[in-house]
């Protein structure tokens, strides 16, 4: 009973710290305060789980995912040693790799009563929902602006896209099983949240995510039929579905071009709706190279505002690995070698100084540079293990409410993969959505998926 109360209090503080970093920043506190609080509590919870298991002789400690996580750690440490990485650099790397995986291990090995799980889910619901009114307050005070992402952060703009994607995954999955219109209203509100956060990508990523969940919903419903896959494709591309998708997607893009100056030729609010310009802008945004920008800014060496496109960052990271020696190719250039932590002392422009890369760096590119092909393969395998667990649970349950929760987890998982592969480091390393991700996966692994009343 005492351990259950400790778990409840610990999860409450971790989630509140994760979703209130922006509040801490607003009142002048360094991000170190909520981060070290969360990480310290994760260690306490992990130790409690380990000791609890130790005193129960018939209980085995579940180490789900240890092999791939251990592979990432081993690759980073081997390459760090080979490239003379400092001790502090390697400590930072181990910390970043393990901090929320330990939370996952703790939760799958602790007995968590249903009432505590329900309280945690209710808290998460409140923390996600409160972002909407806070974003409207921001809109009233400063307008459409990339900074000030709800209560969660004052600078990590990527979260303006990722938070709505995670929230909408659960809302849309619940709509598919309940047909409650209120869920669609909330999805629209989270879409507007992204627009207020000046995220152009929301117009191009939001619909593919929801379309994927719709197809998966059909594929699960037809999974017991001989031609289930074909039936699910036919259902997805029905006239009704295609009409809804085309109309709503067109409206989403149109709204974005009117409210986001970067998506129209005049670069102003309520500018011209020009899809050719939009595609040109998106292409340049993803593929631009530093060399292409030298004509406009000769001081490229010192101007950190001049950045590469995301796809170009990935391409250059791959080139750096392929052109290196065997150790670098297999294990990278050292765990923590791209860290911007002041404890390492490498500076905020370390990626450019060391690898000639400057721009929004997806976590995949970072893992590739630090841990090589071996580390990246291990990370992708971990994502596969989580996907496989989600898929099998979806097939195993017949409860529509449970299916809605698990399908929402799949959407969250796909969001994390998208972010990891081509968008940013926010989902895995910023500590906002990461504890939510591992908390939900822990419920899935230990078969404690509890249908939440709001989503029913």
DSSP per residue, 121-165: HHHHHHHHHTHHHHHHHHHHHH-S-SS-BTTTBSS-TTHHHHHHH
Question: Can you state the angle between helices 101-109 and 434-445, rounded to 10 degrees?
Answer: 30
Higher pLDDT, 436 or 27: 436
Q: What is the DSSP letter of 421?
A: I
- The percentage of the chain sitting over the pLDDT mark of 90, rounded to a whole number, equals 54
The pLDDT of residue 168: 97
The pLDDT of residue 147: 80
Using the CB atoms, write b or e for 74-102: b if 16+ within 10 Å. Answer: bbbbbbbeebebbeebbebbeebbbbbbb
The pLDDT of residue 298: 57
Cα distance between residue 216 and residue 139, in whole Å: 35
Q: What is the DSSP letter of 63?
A: -
Residue 301: pLDDT over 80: no
Residue 243: pLDDT over 60: yes
Residue 265: pLDDT over 90: no
32-71 pLDDT, tens digit per residue, is: 888 999 999 999 999 999 988 888 766 788 999 999 999 9
* R_g over Cα of the chain: 22
Residue 225: pLDDT over 70: no
Average pLDDT of the segment spanning 77-89: 88
- The percentage of the chain sitting over the pLDDT mark of 70, rounded to a whole number, equals 92
Question: 244 and 269 in contact (C-beta within 8 Å)?
Answer: no
Q: Which of 140, 146, 55, 171 is closest to 407 using CA atoms? A: 171
Higher pLDDT, 339 or 247: 247
Residue 426: pLDDT over 70: yes
Q: Which of 306, 356, 311 is closest to 333 using CA atoms? A: 356
Count CB-CB contacts under 10 A for residue 222: 18
Q: Which of 401, 329, 407 is closest to 369 using CA atoms? A: 329
Average pLDDT of the segment spanning 78-97: 89
Question: 187 and 146 in contact (C-beta within 8 Å)?
Answer: no
The pLDDT of residue 137: 92
pLDDT averaged over every residue in the chain: 88
Q: How confident is the model at residue 4 (pLDDT cuts 50, 70, 90)?
A: confident
Structure tokens at 121: 């889910």
The pLDDT of residue 402: 92
Q: How confident is the model at residue 251 (pLDDT cuts 50, 70, 90)?
A: very high
Average pLDDT of the segment spanning 281-307: 69
Cα distance between residue 260 and residue 239, in whole Å: 31
The pLDDT of residue 25: 86
The pLDDT of residue 43: 95
Average pLDDT of the segment spanning 239-252: 93
147-202 pLDDT, tens digit per residue, is: 888 889 877 789 999 999 999 999 999 999 999 999 999 999 999 999 999 898 89
Average pLDDT of the segment spanning 75-100: 90
The pLDDT of residue 436: 96
315-361 pLDDT, tens digit per residue, is: 999 999 999 899 999 999 999 888 877 676 666 677 888 888 888 88
The pLDDT of residue 42: 95
The pLDDT of residue 418: 96
Question: Which of 2-6, 190-194, 344-348, 417-421 bottoms out in mean pLDDT, i.e. has the lowest?
Answer: 344-348
Cα distance between residue 427 and residue 408, in whole Å: 16
Q: How confident is the model at residue 1 (pLDDT cuts 50, 70, 90)?
A: low
Cα distance between residue 217 and residue 227, in whole Å: 15
Q: How confident is the model at residue 229 (pLDDT cuts 50, 70, 90)?
A: confident
Residue 129: pLDDT over 60: yes
Question: Which of 70-74, 200-204, 390-394, 409-413 bottoms out in mean pLDDT, i.e. has the lowest?
Answer: 200-204
Count CB-CB contacts under 10 A for residue 443: 21
Residue 272: pLDDT over 90: no
Q: How confident is the model at residue 283 (pLDDT cuts 50, 70, 90)?
A: confident
Residue 305: pLDDT over 80: no
Question: Which of 53-62, 81-90, 248-257, 258-267 bottoms out in mean pLDDT, i.e. has the lowest?
Answer: 53-62
């Amino acid at each position: 009973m005492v351990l259950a109360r400790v778990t409840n209090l610990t999860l409450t503080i971790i989630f509140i710290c994760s979703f209130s970093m922006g509040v801490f920043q607003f009142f002048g506190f360094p991000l170190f305060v909520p981060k070290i609080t969360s990480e310290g509590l994760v260690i306490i919870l992990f130790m409690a789980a380990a000791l609890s298991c130790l005193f129960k002789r018939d209980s085995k400690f579940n180490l789900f995912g240890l092999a791939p996580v251990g592979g990432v750690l081993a690759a980073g440490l081997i390459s760090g040693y080979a490239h003379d990485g400092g001790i502090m650099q390697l400590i930072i790397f181990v910390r970043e790799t393990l901090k929320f995986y330990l939370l996952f291990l703790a939760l799958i090995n602790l007995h968590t009563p249903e009432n505590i799980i329900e309280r945690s889910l209710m808290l998460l619901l409140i923390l996600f929902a409160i972002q909407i009114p806070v974003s409207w307050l921001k809109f009233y005070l400063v307008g459409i602006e990339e900074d000030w992402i709800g209560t969660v952060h004052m600078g990590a703009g990527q979260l303006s896209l990722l938070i709505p994607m995670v929230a909408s995954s659960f809302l849309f999955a619940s709509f598919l099983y309940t047909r409650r219109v209120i869920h669609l209203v909330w999805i629209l509100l989270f879409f507007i949240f992204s627009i207020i956060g000046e995220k152009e990508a929301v117009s191009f990523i939001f619909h593919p995510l929801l379309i994927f969940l719709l197809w998966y919903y059909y594929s699960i419903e037809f999974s017991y039929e001989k031609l289930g896959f074909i039936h699910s494709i036919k259902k997805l591309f029905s006239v009704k579905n295609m009409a809804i998708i085309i109309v709503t997607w067109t409206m989403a893009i149109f709204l974005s071009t009117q409210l986001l100056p970067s998506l129209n030729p005049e670069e102003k609010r309520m500018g011209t709706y020009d899809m050719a310009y939009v595609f040109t802008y998106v292409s340049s945004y993803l593929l631009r190279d530093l060399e292409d920008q030298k004509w406009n800014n000769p001081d490229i060496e010192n101007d950190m505002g001049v950045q590469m496109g995301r796809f170009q960052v990935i391409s250059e990271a791959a080139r750096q690995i392929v052109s290196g020696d065997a150790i670098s190719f297999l294990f990278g250039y050292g765990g923590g070698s791209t860290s911007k932590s002041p404890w390492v002392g490498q500076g905020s422009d370390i990626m450019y100084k060391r690898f000639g890369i400057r721009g929004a760096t997806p976590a995949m590119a970072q893992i590739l540079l630090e841990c090589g092909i071996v580390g990246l393969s291990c990370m992708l395998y971990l994502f596969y293990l989580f996907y496989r667990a989600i898929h099998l649970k979806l097939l195993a349950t017949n409860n529509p409410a449970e299916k809605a929760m698990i399908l929402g987890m799949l959407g969250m998982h796909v969001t994390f993969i998208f972010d990891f592969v081509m968008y940013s480091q926010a989902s895995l390393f910023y500590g906002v959505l990461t504890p939510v991700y591992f908390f939900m996966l822990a419920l899935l692994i230990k078969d404690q998926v509890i249908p939440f009343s709001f989503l029913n």
